[in-house]
Amino acid sequence: MSIKSALISAIAMSLFGFTSLALALTELPIPSEPIYFEPPIVEATDDIRQLSCVTLDNNIRYLHPYRYSYKPEFYQDDANKIATTLITIDSLPVIGTVPIIGEWVGFTYLAYSALIDEKEQRRMLQIEQQIAMLQQVKAEKRCFE
């Protein structure tokens, strides 16, 4: 009889667990925003459409240096190497008995570096969109003929 009651209680608990799981999976009434940055699409204004082909070409040429990031990559940045070394040294059991200031400094710099990298990516994407818009206006004006 104890096996029967244990089986019934196990079934009841599993049913209760499934219903609570189903209730836990319901969508929350929180507005969901996109996680990743989606830049606004750049539209050409009337002032830009009135520019000459030479001026459009010059504007595109002046924007080209801003298409690139001048921040060094992760492994070429010496400050990232130092921050990683600080984290590693403070994590070692023998040396780790020293205050964890170096570890916090390392984590803080790596977070700052990632934030700057994200800002650079957003800036470059916006410049790419401006160049694409100017090229579209050049194509509409038939500047290539």
- The crossing angle, in degrees rounded to 10, of helices 101-140 and 78-91 is 150
User: Positive or negative CA dihedral for 112, 117, 118, 119?
Assistant: positive
Task: Tell me the C-alpha distance between 39 and 14, whole Å.
Answer: 47
Which of 74, 62, 66 has the alpha carbon at shortest distance from 116?
74
* 113, 79 Cβ separation under 8 angstroms: yes
Over residues 71-116, the pLDDT tens digits come to 888 888 888 888 888 888 776 665 545 556 777 888 888 999 988 8
User: Residue holding tokens 């390392």?
Assistant: 106
**Tens digit of pLDDT for each residue in 33-68?**
556 666 678 888 889 889 899 999 999 999 999 898
Q: Which residue, chain included where needed, has tokens 């410049």?
A: 127
| End-to-end CA gap in the chain | 92
Has this prediction a pTM greater than 0.75? no
DSSP state of 71: S
